[in-house]
Amino acid sequence: MIKMQWVESLVGMILYLFGANFFVLGMSLMSNKPDLKSSGVFCEAAAIFNVVAALYAATALNLGTTATFALTFGVIWVALGIILIKGYGLTPVGDYSLYAAIGMIWFLYAFIALVHNYLFAYATTLYIITFIAIFLMTRGKVSLKALGWLLIVFGIIGVLVPALMLFMGLA
């Protein structure tokens, strides 16, 4: 029982940081002069926690799926943070986002068919949509402002709400 509560809190914290990253990056993209370097620093801070949480979940808790999920996003935040801080092009972020969206399809299947966790299935569906939008933005098919709005909305309804539900024991 205690182990499961710890896992839910860990996943809730990971989701909370995901939502915060999406929200901060979305707000930056909405401004007339996006401050992507500051957003990059925020991404790196979340990346450190996600990688540590993934390693802890894999080693101490023996939770391979949770670890893979957290590590997938840890890699995204590390790469995105470096790219934003250094001012590199976003095409590799779009490419990795497409790869992550494809990988999330397996998580979606697992959450629906194997563990029947529809809250995580809901969040995963929104991740897939967001990652595809990031990919399309890097190809000029979605504007920065549209992506900014998507990140803000997803950061709140797709990540913050499930994170708070986990913290409160409602999921």
Q: Give pLDDT tens digits for 51-96.
A: 887 777 777 767 777 677 777 778 878 888 898 899 888 888 889 8
pLDDT at 142 over 90: yes
Helix (H) or strand (E) run with residue 71 in it: helix 64-86
Can you give the pLDDT at residue 100?
A: 86
pLDDT value, residue 1: 47
Quote the percentage of the chain above a pLDDT of 70: 92
What is the fold, at CATH topology level, of the domain defined by 2-167? 1.25.40
Query: Helix or strand or coil: residue 63?
Result: coil
Query: What pLDDT, on a 0 to 100 scale, did the predictor assign at position 54?
Result: 77
- CB count, 10 Å around CB of 2? 6
Indicate whether this model's pTM tops 0.75: yes
Integer Rg of the chain from CA: 15
What are the backbone dihedrals phi and psi of residue 11, each rounded to the nearest 5 degrees, phi first?
A: -65, -40
Is 65 in a helix, a strand, or coil? helix
Indicate the range of 26-40, 57-71, 135-149 predicted with least confidence.
57-71
Q: Report how far residue 159's alpha carbon sits from residue 123's, in angstroms, rounded to the nearest whole number.
A: 6
Q: Please, which residues have CB within 8 angstroms of residue 93's CB and are 6 or more apart in sequence?
A: 76, 79, 80, 83, 134, 138
Query: Given a cut of 70, is residue 4 above it in pLDDT?
Result: no
Q: What does pLDDT average to over the chain?
A: 83
